[in-house]
């Protein structure tokens, strides 16, 4: 078999469909977020980043950088291996305590990424609880889907954000059947928010555990940044809260927070924890500084919401179609993968604005979009430049506008 030809055919098919992914080569600059240098075909030039998941710019916060520099000088570059073999780094222990406190849980457990924390945490629970049935929201992230799949448990998918459909499906299984309801708080592509209290009501009525992914909410919502569950006062009702250190906290890593026994159970059984090198101590120190800062400071969250509201109002005034939702994620709807990529390329090449196109399989076909994520550091001038560029492109391409 000509394997190279097989690979080329697969890539060519993606290109023909208009969803071949091209990486923009960017160089972030400490202290200048959201500005970056793009290294493109015509040489380097400055761009404004409008699609970063470093939602609050904490990846360049002085307190985070100082903590990482100090830890790097004190502990060196790496953790040395797994936590079991190379020793349980004191910084990891302190970070897990910080995370447990954030979510008012007994304990927390660190992983190398948010994807891994879902894949390993959710997958381990589903696999190791005898005869467990997992009820998964139809909008769940790939990391949750992969974790459930690799557990080989019985899986039922309930309608997105529908407590009624969840209730109907849970009722099909008797009270003695172990059940786990897995869902997210803020859904990353549409920006909608789950009715957490109502889902907990249904789960509790059927004796089911709950597993909430707060990846796109931690740091951003709640008086201390504990996410939507903290904002809504329901964190205590959730069996497991999962989150990331790589988005609003600006570093990298993932975690689960739950009872001490549950975290120990996952620690003892999850291959994605046992057999992988631990986070570098400097990364853990930076995450701890970020979490600590955002527990005490609401200024970043307030400014962030102000910027989000201003972008939404400007899009409305310009007639640029975008999904209405109660979160910080602003999906500008295009509906065609080729056109979506063309808009993204033109923004980058001619306006110095970076917004990555979002195509299938990340979103369903026909719902292609530009996913805009304002930050506290986007100025009024940045917003005006973004809306002006989009308005020009919409006019030149004859794209449909919506009434203001």
Say what the pLDDT of residue 157 is: 98
* Helix H or strand E segment including 109: strand 107-111
Q: If we measure between CA atoms, which residue out of 253, 290, 295, 264 comes closest to residue 92?
A: 253
Say what the pLDDT of residue 404 is: 66
Catalytic residue among 155, 247, 295, 341: 247
Say what the pLDDT of residue 40 is: 84
The per-residue pLDDT for range 1-26, each reduced to its tens digit, is 899 999 999 999 999 888 888 898 99
179 - beta bridge partners?
A: 133
CA–CA dist 369, 341 (Å, integer): 9
Say what the pLDDT of residue 42 is: 82
DSSP labels for 25-53?
-EEE-TTSTTEEEEEETTEEEEEEE---S
pLDDT tens digits, the chain, 404 residues: what are they?
899 999 999 999 999 888 888 898 999 999 999 999 999 888 899 999 999 999 999 999 999 999 999 999 999 999 999 999 988 899 999 999 999 999 999 999 999 999 999 999 999 999 999 999 999 999 999 999 999 999 999 999 999 999 999 999 999 999 999 999 999 999 999 999 999 999 999 999 999 999 999 999 999 999 999 999 999 999 999 999 999 999 999 999 999 999 999 999 999 999 999 999 999 999 999 999 999 999 999 999 999 999 999 999 999 999 999 999 999 999 999 999 999 999 999 999 999 999 999 999 999 999 999 999 999 999 999 999 999 999 999 999 889 898 76
Say what the pLDDT of residue 136 is: 98
Q: Which residues contact 165 (CB under 8 A, 6 or more apart)?
A: 158, 159
* Catalytic (active site) residue 341: no
Say what the pLDDT of residue 41 is: 84
């Amino acid at each position: 078999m000509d394997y190279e030809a097989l690979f080329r055919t697969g890539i060519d098919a993606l290109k023909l469909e208009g969803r071949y992914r091209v990486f923009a080569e960017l160089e972030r600059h400490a202290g200048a977020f959201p500005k970056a240098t793009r290294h493109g075909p015509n040489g380097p030039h400055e761009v404004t980043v409008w699609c970063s998941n470093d939602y609050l710019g904490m990846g360049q916060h002085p307190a985070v950088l100082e903590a990482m520099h100090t830890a790097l000088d004190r502990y060196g570059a790496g953790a040395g291996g797994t936590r079991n073999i190379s020793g349980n780094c004191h910084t990891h222990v302190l970070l897990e305590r910080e995370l447990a406190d954030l979510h008012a849980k007994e304990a927390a457990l660190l992983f190398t990424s948010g994807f891994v924390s879902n894949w390993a945490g959710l997958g381990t629970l589903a696999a190791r609880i005898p005869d467990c049935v997992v009820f998964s929201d139809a909008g769940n992230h790939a990391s949750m889907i992969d974790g459930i799949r690799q557990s080989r448990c019985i899986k039922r998918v309930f309608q997105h954000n529908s407590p009624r459909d969840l209730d109907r499906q849970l009722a099909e299984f008797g009270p003695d059947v172990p059940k786990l309801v897995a869902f997210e708080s803020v859904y990353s592509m549409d920006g909608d928010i789950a009715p957490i209290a109502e889902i907990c009501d249904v789960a509790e009525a059927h004796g089911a555990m709950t597993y909430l992914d707060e990846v796109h909410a931690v740091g951003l919502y709640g008086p201390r940044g504990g996410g939507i569950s903290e904002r809504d006062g329901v964190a205590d009702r959730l069996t497991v809260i999962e989150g990331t250190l790589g988005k609003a906290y600006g570093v990298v890593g993932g975690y689960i927070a739950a009872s001490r026994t549950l975290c120990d159970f996952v620690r003892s059984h999850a291959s994605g924890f046992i057999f992988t090198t631990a986070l570098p101590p400097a990364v853990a120190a930076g995450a701890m500084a970020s979490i600590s800062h955002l527990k005490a400071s609401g200024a970043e969250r307030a400014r962030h919401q102000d910027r989000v509201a201003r972008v939404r109002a400007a899009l409305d005034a310009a007639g640029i179609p975008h999904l209405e939702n109660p979160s910080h994620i602003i999906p500008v709807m295009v509906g065609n993968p080729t056109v979506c990529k063309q808009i993204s390329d033109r923004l980058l090449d001619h306006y110095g604005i970076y917004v990555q196109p979002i195509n299938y399989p990340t979103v369903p076909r026909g719902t292609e979009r530009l996913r805009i994520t304002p930050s506290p550091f986007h100025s009024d001038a940045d917003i005006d430049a973004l809306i002006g560029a989009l308005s020009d492109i919409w006019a030149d391409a004859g794209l449909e506008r919506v009434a203001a």
